[in-house]
Amino acid sequence: MVNIAILGSGFVAEFYMQGLANVNGHRVVANYSRNKKRAKTFGDRWNIPTSTTDVDSLIARDDIHLYIIATPNESHLPLSLALSKARRNQVCTKPLGRDRKEAKQMMDAAKKSGAMHGYAETEVFSPCVVKARETIEAGGIGRVLWVRSRESHSGPHSPHFWDIDKTGGGAMNDLACHTVEAARYFFGKEDSITEVMAWGANLVHKDKTKGEDNALLLLKFHSGGIAHCELSWTTKGGLDLRNEIHGTEGSLFTDVTRGTPLQSFTTRSAGYVIEKADSDSGWTRPLPEEAFAYGYQAEMRHFVECVRDGKAPRETYEDGYIVNCILDAGYRSMRQKKWTRVTY
């Protein structure tokens, strides 16, 4: 059995628990929150034996094999450094750091510790995205030339997301983590991103954040290929996740939220519909098994198996660091209004 501690008791921790519910060979033995009531509520809901606000004592335990960081962005660095100091296996949600400097500290410390480190980027574990990559590897669409990815919804679910000092940025920082890593996955990680061009603006939420609520990010690959990322905190209708992959011999399209296998029309509340849904009545597109569709189940299974078998994950802190480098270059481009080199 792989014993797991969940650090965090909020939104993404809920999805991790949903994913873990369908993974064999593990036990979630503890959860942490900075708030005692939230820790207990989360622990009771998922029947977790220990709920605590004392993260130091949790890290000091020698019966926990994997710590999953599912906390707000500003706490990733101190939690990760503490885990590395104790030589603990760790997985961290996106983005790894608020910027490349934080991400590099986390990556360097984790590597030095000798323990496992995994970057929890759900997009590249989503079943449809994995299948698309398999088609690319089989030569189905020839050489990849252009990728278009969209990640949008009507705004963050928690107040802290609006504070760019706590998060590291606005909609691009929040959402482009997924689209950047998807592009790297489709092109192949050996094909590095060399330059970026970004635009961002606060079009709607000026009273809530100093950051951008809409952004476009262009990624230029060493091979000459291009990726186009669309990010928004102002689109209605629930989470919108789409990818297009165009190659010399064909194209691939993924859509897990707008092309759901279920459509409904209700005159009353239908209950939970989909992440970030703006309405639960009228015409809706409920998404069955979100944890599977988004990739939470597959990534949690992968990390549990890596701990069990002593293997390195296919997404590590090095990938998280690379994404942070690309995002930092994107923000420089946004300010300078020109193509910007990515430095790693």
Is pLDDT above 90 for 276?
no
Instruction: Evaluate whether 161 touches 10 at the Cβ level (below 8 Å).
Output: no
The rounded percent of the chain whose pLDDT value lies above 90 is: 91
Same domain, yes or no: 128 and 28: no
Alpha helices in the chain (DSSP H): 11-20, 36-45, 55-60, 76-85, 100-113, 127-137, 164-167, 171-187, 290-294, 296-309, 317-336
Instruction: Evaluate whether 184 touches 220 at the Cβ level (below 8 Å).
Output: no
* Mean pLDDT confidence for 45-60: 97
Same domain, yes or no: 70 and 161: no
Token reading at 119 = 């970057």
336 band by pLDDT with thresholds 50, 70 and 90: very high
Same domain, yes or no: 105 and 245: no
Same domain, yes or no: 129 and 52: no
Same domain, yes or no: 141 and 115: no
Q: Residue 108: CB partners within 8 Å, gap ≥ 6?
A: none
| Mean pLDDT over the full length of the chain | 96
Instruction: Evaluate whether 91 touches 69 at the Cβ level (below 8 Å).
Output: yes
Residue 82's pLDDT is: 98
How many domains does the chain fold into?
2
Is pLDDT above 90 for 258?
no
275 band by pLDDT with thresholds 50, 70 and 90: confident
Residue 184's pLDDT is: 98
CA distances from 163 to 79, 98, 205 (A): 20, 12, 12
Token reading at 219 = 């990624």
* Mean pLDDT confidence for 256-281: 89
pLDDT in tens, 124-150: 999 999 999 999 999 999 999 999 999
Tell me, yes or no, if the pTM score tops 0.85. yes
Is 320 within a domain?
no
Token reading at 265 = 């029309």
Is pLDDT above 90 for 102?
yes
CA distances from 238 to 10, 30, 269 (A): 19, 32, 15
89 band by pLDDT with thresholds 50, 70 and 90: very high
Residue 314's pLDDT is: 98
| CATH number, domain with residue 219 | 3.30.360.10
* Mean pLDDT confidence for 308-329: 98
Residue reference for tokens 């209950």? 271
Residue 260's pLDDT is: 87
Same domain, yes or no: 139 and 283: yes
Instruction: Evaluate whether 100 touches 328 at the Cβ level (below 8 Å).
Output: yes
Is pLDDT above 90 for 249?
yes
Is pLDDT above 90 for 103?
yes
The whole-angstrom separation of Cα 36 and Cα 44 is 12
Same domain, yes or no: 169 and 208: yes
The whole-angstrom separation of Cα 309 and Cα 296 is 20
Domain that holds residue 29: 2-122+297-315
